[in-house]
Amino acid sequence: MTWAAKLIKHNNENRIAVYFEKDVDLIARIKQVDGARWSQQKTVWHIPDTIENRVRFKIAPLANSLPSLEGIEHITKFIQWLSSKRYSPSTIKTYSEALKSFLIFYHEKQIAEITNEDVIIYNNEFILKNNLSASYQNQIVNALKLFFKTIQDKQIIIDTIHRPKRGKVLPNVLSKEEIKLILTVLTNTKHKTMLSLIYACGLRRSELLQLTFEDIQADRKLLVIKQSKGKKDRIVPISDKIIEMLRDYYKEYRPKKWLFEGQRENTKYSDRSLEEVLKKSIRLAQINKPVSLHWLRHSYATHLLESGTDLRYIQELLGHSSSKTTEIYTHVSTKSIQNIKSPFDDL
């Protein structure tokens, strides 16, 4: 997303103006920001001037917009350590930005002098005071805990820091009829195969785009997913129907390196393009829901559960480390719920 942001005054209110080229996808994304509004007068989208939004759009949230030289040095060391431990690029970015925010707050203080009490003060006086989100708060706390343990060799007692209680949000699930409609409206072989494979094997978006033809073991009817979330390999079953679809796709496109390649040879299909494929299918299927690619994975797990597959097997198929993560699908499976008889019927 190419954008620019600056502070403005709108109707005597401090706001952040966000400028970008007119694009349906970008407009949809800016609308997801709480309090986002369009100004007909200024012809610009603008959002509340909060610390979290300043962080999100890279507008300095504090008088000092950079850490001290010592802080910058330690952030660099932290990034190097995370890289050496093969943390994902997104995690490295999240943790380093979280640490940067904290060290900006303590710009004038020597890092060696920072104590557990300082972390508590930062949590109360910066995160909570500025109404930053619970997920942002957890990212900050996790990053600081890891930084002080690895780079400073200092223990931060997390129990003394007020952690937000995680909301229990149920996964979004589509019916089998809706899934079928989404897949059948597509006429492009590549597009249909990509979305079909996500649903048929419960894949994450990154897992799909990382696949090569060597990962398909057609004779054993297995798909090998390598080095996914948590650096884990796993295998999932693939049906004859999917294998036949993949063969037809290969005959038409002849990819060289990746299973699904972009317009240029030997390049992976992009995340953005895959999202556009789903948006197109949702529009053609006339499904009025904010469906994301992850809904297909959620639907795969829920439909397996409803067909009688043991929860332990579903955990393995999804690559979940904890069974508690998988258990959330029991709350959206309708099979058992629909069989419950209401006491009203006995009246």
Mean pLDDT for back-to-back runs of 10 residues, the chain (347 residues): 75 83 78 83 83 69 67 91 87 86 85 84 80 78 87 69 59 88 94 94 91 91 83 86 93 92 87 90 90 90 85 85 76 60 54
Known catalytic residue: 122? no
Q: Amino acid identity of 37?
A: R
Look at strands 44-48 and 13-20 and give their pairing. antiparallel
pLDDT digits (tens, 9 = 90+) for 295-340: 999 999 888 888 888 888 888 888 887 777 777 777 666 655 556 5
State the CATH architecture for 176-337: Orthogonal Bundle (1.10)
47, 53 Cβ separation under 8 angstroms: yes
CA 24 to the chain's CA centroid: 21
- CA distance linking residue 100 with residue 67, whole number of Å: 7
Known catalytic residue: 297? yes
Q: What is the pLDDT of residue 1?
A: 47
Task: Indicate which residue of 15, 297, 298, 303 is catalytic.
Answer: 297
Q: What is the pLDDT of residue 187?
A: 92
Q: Amino acid identity of 200?
A: A
pLDDT digits (tens, 9 = 90+) for 91-132: 888 888 888 888 888 888 888 888 888 888 888 888 877 777
Known catalytic residue: 294? yes
Q: What is the pLDDT of residue 194?
A: 95
Q: What is the pLDDT of residue 347?
A: 45
Q: What is the pLDDT of residue 310?
A: 83
Task: Indicate which residue of 204, 205, 298, 303 is catalytic.
Answer: 204
Task: Indicate which residue of 294, 312, 331, 335 is catalytic.
Answer: 294
Q: What is the pLDDT of residue 344?
A: 45
Residue located via tokens 């966000």: 18
- What is the CATH class of 74-160? mainly alpha
Known catalytic residue: 329? yes
Task: Indicate which residue of 56, 154, 190, 229 is catalytic.
Answer: 229
Alpha helices in 58-133 (DSSP H): 69-84, 89-105, 116-122
Q: What is the pLDDT of residue 215?
A: 92
- CA distance linking residue 253 with residue 193, whole number of Å: 12
Where are the chain's structural domains?
3-56, 74-160, 176-337
The dihedral formed by the CA atoms of 123, 128, 132 and 137, expressed in degrees to the nearest 10: 30
Known catalytic residue: 320? yes
